[in-house]
């Protein structure tokens, strides 16, 4: 049996549904459970009606202790979600008595069996994943994002696993904010020295776990009827794409109601957009529209591009990773 957990709220509900469905599709009949820590009651009620047998919902009343309830008020939505990441795994160990658990970000999407990543842990106690920044983005983002990405992490419920997890959880209680301060940013920069700080740390070698910061400029993407493949330009090695992290996605409109999609400050080849972004965005819009019809609530907000920050406006003006939504969907 494989055990996973994830944390999200209303704003990521449609993304989380895609993640859960893609996980189920790619587990290939293997036994698994995923514990979804849903941070608002509305999302909890909606998911409870969707009949996903391998998804175990954990509501805030069961999950939050007095410390988390205090931090929910003191921190932003994003900061609170980051704070809850380590707590969710800890809850799975202390309250559910799981022997092993893998945390998954809600905006991942699976293309192949993720157990290949979990099994790579072997006899070690903690699995962490590199950002694998392409050289341009390593210079731009590594200071704030760190060497490792929280996106997919496996812990064993043993001495070494609990030591690292408890240390991380306590650090996030004390400080977890969306700003850089004294070598910290959110929950993620705490991971930078784990290979030296703790025993039993395994850094994922499989390069099929990617995001926009790594796939652009580092990998060639191809596909056949069954799989999407990535080939490292430098090592020449091929991998099944196991998951892609659809981070930084934002939806905008201009004053004329023309809709745009912001993919973040990354340069993408048209093949990336066709194979990865176009199908994902189509699914995301479909799920969001169905939820809006069923529950009379907007699940995918479009921000006004004219009110965005200057950097975003300039990228929109020059067409740098901000595309008309019609262009994405027609690829």
* Region 242-265 average pLDDT: 85
Residues 145 and 95 occupy one common structural domain: yes
Domain assignment present for 233: no
Q: How many angstroms separate the CA atoms of 316 and 207, rounded?
A: 31
**Residue the block writes with tokens 């700003």:** 179
Q: How far apart are CA 58 and CA 44, in angstroms?
A: 8
Q: Could you give the percent of the chain with pLDDT greater than 70?
A: 97
Lowest mean pLDDT among 46-50, 199-203, 323-327: 323-327
pLDDT tens digits along 75-133 = 999 999 999 999 999 999 999 999 999 999 999 999 999 999 999 999 999 999 999 99
Is the pLDDT confidence value at 187 over 80?
yes
| Cβ 80 vs Cβ 39: under 8 Å | yes
Q: Is 213 inside any structural domain? A: no
**Domain span holding position 58:** 2-206
Q: Is residue 243 part of a domain?
A: no
Could you give the number of structural domains in the chain?
2
**Containing H/E element for 170?**
helix 159-174
| Same domain membership, residue 262 and residue 182 | no
Q: Kindly state whether residues 163 and 57 are assigned to the same domain.
A: yes
Note whether residue 212 is domain-resident: no
280 with 325: CB under 8 angstroms? Answer: no
Do 30 and 108 belong to one domain?
yes
* Cα–Cα distance list, 188 to 79, 144, 192, 198 (Å): 11, 9, 8, 16
Q: Measure Cα distances from 113 to 165, 211, 244, 300 in Å.
A: 25, 17, 13, 28
What burial class does residue 179 get, using C-beta atoms within 10 Å of its C-beta: 0-12 exposed, 13-18 middle, 19+ buried? exposed
- Helix, strand, or coil (residue 305): helix
Which residues are bridge partners to 154 per DSSP? 102, 127
Tokens 């921000």 belong to 303
- Please tell me whether residues 202 and 316 are part of one structural domain: no
Rg (CA), the chain: 19
Mean pLDDT (the chain, rounded): 91
Please state whether the predicted TM-score (pTM) of the whole model is above 0.75. yes
- Using the 3D structure, point to which of 154, 175, 206 is the last residue of a domain: 206
Q: Within a domain: residue 236?
A: no
> Span 149-177, mean pLDDT?
98
Q: Which pLDDT does position 317 carry in this prediction?
A: 67
More confident: 310 or 316:
310
Q: What are phi and psi of 269, to 5 degrees?
A: -75, 155
Q: Which of 206, 240, 271 is the C-terminal boundary of a domain?
A: 206
Within-domain flag for 241 = no
At 286, list the tokens.
């479909």
Q: How far is residue 271's CA from residue 261's CA, in Å, rounded to a whole number?
A: 17
Verify that 10 and 146 share a domain, yes or no: yes
- Establish if 232 belongs to a structural domain: no
| Token pair in block for residue 280 | 């994902």
The pLDDT of residue 12:
94
Quick one: pLDDT band at residue 319, thresholds 50, 70, 90?
low
Mean pLDDT on 184-204: 97
- Report residue 318's pLDDT band, with 50, 70 and 90 as the boundaries: low
CATH number at residue 189: 3.90.550.10
Tokens 């905006």 found at: 107
Q: Are residues 184 and 308 in the same domain?
A: no
């Amino acid at each position: 049996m494989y055990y996973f957990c994830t944390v999200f709220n209303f704003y990521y509900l449609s993304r989380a549904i895609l993640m859960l469905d893609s996980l189920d599709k790619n587990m290939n009949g293997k036994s698994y459970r995923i514990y979804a820590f849903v941070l608002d009651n509305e999302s909890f009620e909606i998911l409870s009606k969707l009949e996903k047998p391998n998804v175990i919902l954990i509501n805030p009343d069961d999950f939050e202790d007095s410390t988390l309830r205090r931090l929910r008020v003191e921190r932003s939505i994003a900061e609170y979600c980051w704070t809850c990441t380590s707590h969710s795994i800890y809850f799975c160990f202390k309250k559910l008595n799981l022997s092993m658990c893998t945390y998954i970000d809600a905006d991942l999407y699976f293309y192949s069996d993720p157990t290949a990543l979990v099994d790579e842990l072997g006899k070690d106690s903690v699995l962490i994943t590199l950002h694998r920044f392409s050289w341009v983005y390593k210079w731009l983002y590594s200071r704030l994002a760190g060497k490792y990405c929280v996106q997919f992490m496996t812990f064993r419920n043993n001495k070494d696993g609990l030591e690292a997890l408890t240390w991380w959880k306590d650090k996030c209680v004390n400080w977890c904010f969306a700003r850089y301060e004294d070598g910290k940013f959110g929950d993620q920069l705490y991971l930078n020295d784990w290979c030296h700080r703790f025993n039993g740390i395994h850094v994922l070698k499989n390069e099929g776990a990617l995001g926009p910061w790594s796939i652009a400029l580092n990998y060639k993407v191809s596909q056949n009827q069954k799989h999407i493949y990535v080939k490292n330009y430098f090592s020449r090695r091929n991998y099944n794409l196991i998951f892609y992290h659809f981070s930084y996605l934002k939806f905008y409109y201009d004053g004329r109601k023309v809709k745009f999609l912001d993919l973040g400050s990354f340069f993408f080849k048209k093949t990336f957009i066709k194979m990865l972004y176009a199908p994902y965005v189509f699914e995301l819009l479909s799920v969001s529209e169905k939820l809006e019809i069923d529950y009379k609530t907007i699940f995918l907000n479009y921000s006004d591009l004219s009110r965005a920050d200057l950097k975003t406006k300039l990228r929109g003006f020059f067409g740098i990773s901000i595309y008309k939504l019609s262009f994405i969907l027609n690829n």
